[in-house]
Structure 1
């Protein structure tokens, strides 16, 4: 028996007037999900524990069976694990996003964040920009490490877990009241703007009509994580397929395998086919019992506030992941249990995460059930199945 989770990050949403008051998930053309939904259990699950922020960190820990109230020590430390940062017990890891802020001739604190992802800048270009930051700002106490695309890491030796705001929560707002209270972090953010604003890469990006990657934004501070082994915890040998350092970091911390897929970048046009093939190889050839396929694009499109592109991201997940995945498993005669769900909603209206419950679909190739529900938020809620503790959901997947 093989077990698979296909997670559309931020895929859940609110009804949108331009979609006929449907959510993107309900509106999207998803023939594979439509077919599976008639043979699956459809329900709702609450992935964010009460009192915790609705981040992809806490939510994905829940979906993987780790209670965030026990295991969560911050987002950035998980990402640090992914990129091989040797954290000491006294280190604090912070996410270092390279974002786009406005370039008017006004005080730094009056500027606004235009784009939290700098136009989904490539890792190659952003690594050059981060090297410019490193040359000017790195010290014995503050070390920068390259991650993926706009997502990077700062390690603060003998630092402290300070309260910091995610940049996607500050979009279009003046940044002043969201800047760190810590004077050094605040100064580094302002200095980073002056280092990057006229960097040749950004001059060229602006000539092409692309958003410049012109400022560091620190957030997600935390301490070295301690996760139990996924295999010892579940009895299943697991593989992570994701472009995102956070998810790869969770997998490293949990002792899972991590598949590196060329061209997988977390954007709308990521290498869906490569990720699907990596997942199939894991379960059909390499002896893995469980694979977690993480698709970042719906979340990114929600942060961008693009209804159309979020619908497209969901359709790509259906056609470029679920279709070839289920076709190959069925063709091979492999018995499998498949779960499809988001980690949290990222409504395009507000362009950030919420803590609302999300819909899940659970299909068993051996025992297809008969369902009257389609897979979307409203019908999953109407079906009446509700799992209140997200970290218990994976036990439901592993039931025989």
Structure 2
């Protein structure tokens, strides 16, 4: 038996008036997913334990078969691991987004989706101007980067807000709060004059693109906990493909190999067909491959209704069609979002999501399509999402 796990990041959501009261998943034309759903176990599950943050880090950990209550200690260190950044006992790390602030408002949580190459040049400058023995910046993918602090564990007491939670809102009341906020606030403020006249920003403005006006710090945490490997836990070899550091970091924590597939990105320009073709080819060497697709989540964070629907339709046409045509081995597939990203709020929600287990030996639960409403109708509920992996690989 071979296994594919497809994480359609942020695919789930709420009804949208402009879509006739449908969710993006319901409005999208997904004939391949729908045909699979009619011969699959379809239901609902919770990937974010009560009281925990509805981040992709927490939710994807659930999808990968690990209980976030036990193993989740923070997101930034997971991304740091994917970048090869060590975090010692006296060190903490923060996610450092390049953002666009305009008249005191969060104009773009992603600096207009700045490229990795442009970001790397900016992060190099920030290290030259702001770096010190107790602080270093590390470039990541696109707008997502890491700040490491040494000897400042107190900064973890500051309350920080993710920038995608405050799109188009005034930022003053969302700056790091609490008694330990001063260092974080000063780093954020000091970044702004450095970036104001940066050559990368001058070029972006000339092209009519949003500049990176500053750095935004959040999701701080210390070193990672030990985690049993996926092989030890489930008895099979595994690999993952993703365009974001977070998923690659989670995979490394679990001893999964990382697939290097050309054209895999963190946005709607993703090479959907190539990513799935590479994943299926990898089944020659692995028992299970995880395919993480970020595009629907990014579209939802941007409030792009049409973009989210299109991403779901592209995934169905370019990726899911290949799954249905796979003939080499017996195959079992898990398809699901990690969390909802409702277009109305442009951030994550801690609500149940639909899941589908399709393939050899699965029970048919009567869904007609792969949508939130159809999943709810089956009355099939898995209370905690981390149990799904066992259902997939152990039947």
The alignment's TM-score, normalised by the length of structure 1, stands at 0.94
Alignment of 1:240 onto 2:236: no
Alignment length, in residue pairs?
388
Alignment of 1:151 onto 2:144: yes
Shift of 1:367: 5.4
With over 3 angstroms needed to count, the CA separation of the structure-2 counterparts of 1:78 and 1:372, relative to structure 1, is closer
Alignment of 1:396 onto 2:395: no
Shift of 1:280: 1.4
Match of 2:129 in 1: 136
Match of 1:373 in 2: 368
Alignment of 1:180 onto 2:176: yes
Structure 2: distance between partners of 1:164 and 1:257: 32
> SS where residue 3 of structure 1 aligns?
strand
Structure 2: distance between partners of 1:368 and 1:355: 27
Paired residue for 1:311, among 309, 316, 324? 309
Shift of 1:366: 5.1
Match of 1:229 in 2: 229
Match of 1:320 in 2: 318
Match of 1:353 in 2: 348
Structure 1: state its 5+ residue gaps.
105-110
Structure 2: distance between partners of 1:274 and 1:197: 38
Shift of 1:271: 1.9
Match of 1:107 in 2: none
With over 3 angstroms needed to count, the CA separation of the structure-2 counterparts of 1:372 and 1:255, relative to structure 1, is closer
Residue by residue over 1:37-93, the C-alpha shift from the partner in whole angstroms, topping out at 9 and shown as x without a partner, is 111111000000010010001000011111111101100000000000022122211
Match of 1:280 in 2: 280
Residue by residue over 1:211-249, the C-alpha shift from the partner in whole angstroms, topping out at 9 and shown as x without a partner, is 112211111111211222111011121111101100000
Match of 1:302 in 2: 300
Superposed CA RMSD: 1.4
Match of 2:261 in 1: 261
Structure 1: distance between partners of 2:365 and 2:388: 21
8 Å contact kept, 2:94–2:221? yes
With over 3 angstroms needed to count, the CA separation of the structure-2 counterparts of 1:370 and 1:349, relative to structure 1, is closer
> SS where residue 147 of structure 1 aligns?
coil
Following TM superposition, the consecutive aligned residue runs of length 4 or more in structure 1 with deviations greater than 3 angstroms are 365-370
> SS where residue 217 of structure 1 aligns?
strand
Match of 1:6 in 2: 6
Larger deviation: 27-36 or 256-265? Answer: 256-265
Paired residue for 1:343, among 338, 341, 352? 338
Alignment of 1:124 onto 2:117: yes
Shift of 1:132: 1.1
Shift of 1:372: 4.2
Structure 1: distance between partners of 2:367 and 2:297: 28
Structure 1: distance between partners of 2:302 and 2:234: 36
Structure 2: distance between partners of 1:213 and 1:280: 38
Structure 2: distance between partners of 1:376 and 1:65: 22
Shift of 1:379: 1.2
Structure 1: distance between partners of 2:5 and 2:65: 12
Structure 2: distance between partners of 1:260 and 1:225: 24
8 Å contact kept, 2:367–2:377? no
Match of 2:50 in 1: 50
Structure 2: distance between partners of 1:350 and 1:25: 16
> SS where residue 387 of structure 2 aligns?
helix
Structure 1: distance between partners of 2:63 and 2:185: 34
Match of 1:382 in 2: 377
Q: How does 1:157-172 map to 2 (within 5 A)?
A: 157-160=150-153, 161-162=156-157, 163-172=159-168
